[in-house]
Amino acid sequence: MNDRDRQAITVIPPTHPLRGRVAPPGSKSITNRVLLLAALAKGTSHLTGALKSDDTRYMAEALRAMGVTIAEPDETSFIVTGDGRLRAPAAPLFLGNAGTATRFLTAAAALVDGQVVIDGDAHMRKRPIGPLLTALRSLGIDASSETGCPPVTIRGTGGFAAGRVEIDGGLSSQYVSALLMMAACGSGPVDIVLAGDDIGARGYIELTLAAMAAFGARVEQSASSWRVAPTGYRAVDFAIEPDASAATYLWAAEVLTGGAIDLGVPATAFTQPDARAYELIASFPHLPAVIDGSQMQDAVPTLAVLAAFNETPVRFTGIANLRVKECDRVAALAVGLSEISPGLGREEGDDLLVASDPSLAGRTLPASIDTRADHRMAMSFALAGLKVHGITILESDCVAKTYPGYWWALGSLGVALEGDVPEQA
């Protein structure tokens, strides 16, 4: 069996609208921010509502390897005890394909007195980190990588001088978030200044600033720079909101089947960028002709699969950096959609054009979706399986990156799944 054909799940279109209650897991973005901030604080922080998935496990394991005590009293909590310092780990930190953990820890490693090597899986080894390393070097930190991607080596001296750092966040806003979070642990104020293209999703910077403020940081913000005071962090108790990107699959499943799924939280309660997708999803089958995905990037795969069943075609713009996520999502979406029906998805430059064909619903169109081990490909193409017979998701276990319970969530709503469906824990 070809590796990508493993763990195949075929989704059987339900004959009824999906109804029921499914709570999405905790936010990946917030969990990995507050795990790091709690680890950098002196004292014990209780984090509740957390996501437990591959990405957050890699973060927690890496922090443990740097001397932080992290207890896990239940399925959604972490108790983090730090002494305000991170120590050099005995071995390289392996972070899978967790972009947040990799970028945030690369900057935080500059606070360590000693060497930290940060590595990831084959996918992560293709995801650029050069701009962050250049920014760290400008602060006098020895940070290098042979390829501009992980593995990276940081040789810290336990701190860094105050100063001004320019960062190009065009490829990833995570570089800016990473610098912001480590900057509060310097010996003086740090000015972080945006260089080059604007950041894709500004909302992730807001998320970072909100988490930092909760842990006692002080940041002055202007249009394209931030001044971070050297406050360090204080331990706090923090309740993590549910994951907005995970919520998009449930919102889409609801409108695709004309059902009613109670997420236990209103769309307006989310502070994460992908919650902006709610209004668009609610407008189905009248999605607009052009969707700028730049401020809700992780929701684009959900919206693109939804667009296939829209009444009119949809062009997705502002999504160039989807090419450097877990896979090249612009290409993967175009190929996957066209696997269902030739020409359904097409690339034009960095835009994605979805042809849209409501008459696809109810037809049998056997398609094996190559997820490229990308959780968002698996979760979004499963939505096509709610409407079309014959949709098979390959490497379906990749959902463990951010939503390990995804297949059970669909099952609990009455969706029949065939193939390598994991047993519920």
Ligand X SMILES: O=C(O)C1=C[C@@H](OP(=O)(O)O)[C@@H](O)[C@H](O)C1
Angstrom distances, CA of residue 161 to CA of 105, 114, 233, 253, 403: 19, 16, 18, 50, 39
The reply, when asked if residue 55 is annotated as ligand binding, is no
Contacts (Cβ under 8 Å, ≥6 apart) of 28 = 51, 53, 55, 56, 100, 243, 245, 402
Q: What's the CA gap between 300 and 321, in Å, rounded?
A: 12
Catalytic residue among 54, 243, 298, 370: 298
Q: Could you give the 3-state DSSP secondary structure of residue 73? A: coil
Beta bridge partners of 225: 193, 222
- Are 421 and 407 in contact by the 8 Å Cβ rule? The answer is yes
The reply, when asked if residue 172 is annotated as ligand binding, is yes
Residue 99: CB atoms within 10 A of its CB come to 23
Binding window for ligand PEP (CB under 6 A); candidates: 17-25, 97-105, 230-238, 287-295: 97-105
- Are 232 and 243 in contact by the 8 Å Cβ rule? The answer is no
Angstrom distances, CA of residue 54 to CA of 2, 293, 328, 408: 23, 25, 20, 17
376, interface contact from ligand PEP, ligand X, none, CB < 5-8 Å by kind: ligand PEP
Contact call for residue 370 and ligand PEP (CB under 6 A): no
Q: What's the CA gap between 394 and 7, in Å, rounded?
A: 6
Q: With the C-alpha atoms ordered 78, 106, 89, 152, is the resulting torsion angle positive or negative? A: positive
Contact call for residue 98 and ligand PEP (CB under 6 A): yes
**Beta carbon of residue 25, minimum distance to ligand PEP (angstroms, whole number):** 12
**Beta carbon of residue 99, minimum distance to ligand X (angstroms, whole number):** 6
**Beta carbon of residue 402, minimum distance to ligand PEP (angstroms, whole number):** 5
Q: What's the CA gap between 347 and 337, in Å, rounded?
A: 11
Beta bridge partners of 194: 167
**Beta carbon of residue 37, minimum distance to ligand PEP (angstroms, whole number):** 17
321, interface contact from ligand PEP, ligand X, none, CB < 5-8 Å by kind: ligand X
Q: Which of 26, 192, 402, 403 binds ligand PEP (CB under 6 A)?
A: 402
**Beta carbon of residue 325, minimum distance to ligand PEP (angstroms, whole number):** 4
Q: What's the CA gap between 12 and 10, in Å, rounded?
A: 6
Q: Which of 57, 325, 372, 387 binds ligand PEP (CB under 6 A)?
A: 325
Contact call for residue 404 and ligand PEP (CB under 6 A): no
SS3 of the chain: helix, strand, coil, percent, to 5: 35, 25, 40
The reply, when asked if residue 28 is annotated as ligand binding, is yes
List the one residue out of 346, 302, 339, 374 whose CA is nearest residue 4.
374
Q: Which of 168, 254, 298, 397 binds ligand PEP (CB under 6 A)?
A: 298
Contact call for residue 52 and ligand PEP (CB under 6 A): no
**Beta carbon of residue 299, minimum distance to ligand X (angstroms, whole number):** 10
Tokens of 309: 């069943």
Binding window for ligand PEP (CB under 6 A); candidates: 96-104, 192-200, 303-311, 337-345: 96-104
> How many residues in the shown chain lie near ligand PEP by CB under 6 A?
9
Q: Between 106 and 172, whose beta carbon lies closer to ligand X?
A: 172
The reply, when asked if residue 321 is annotated as ligand binding, is yes
Contacts (Cβ under 8 Å, ≥6 apart) of 348 = 315
Tokens of 303: 């919206």
96, interface contact from ligand X, ligand PEP, none, CB < 5-8 Å by kind: none
The reply, when asked if residue 52 is annotated as ligand binding, is no
Binding site residues, ligand X, CB under 6 A: 29, 99-100, 172-174, 177, 200-201, 204, 297-298, 321
Residue 298 known to be catalytic? yes
What are the catalytic residues?
298
Query: Binding site for phosphoenolpyruvate, residues?
Result: 28, 99, 127, 174, 329, 376, 401
Query: Binding site, residues?
Result: 28-29, 33, 99, 127, 172-174, 298, 321, 325, 329, 376, 401
Query: Binding site for 3-phosphoshikimate, residues?
Result: 28-29, 33, 172-174, 298, 321, 325
Q: Which residues are at the interface with ligand PEP (CB under 6 A)?
A: 97-100, 298, 325-326, 376, 402
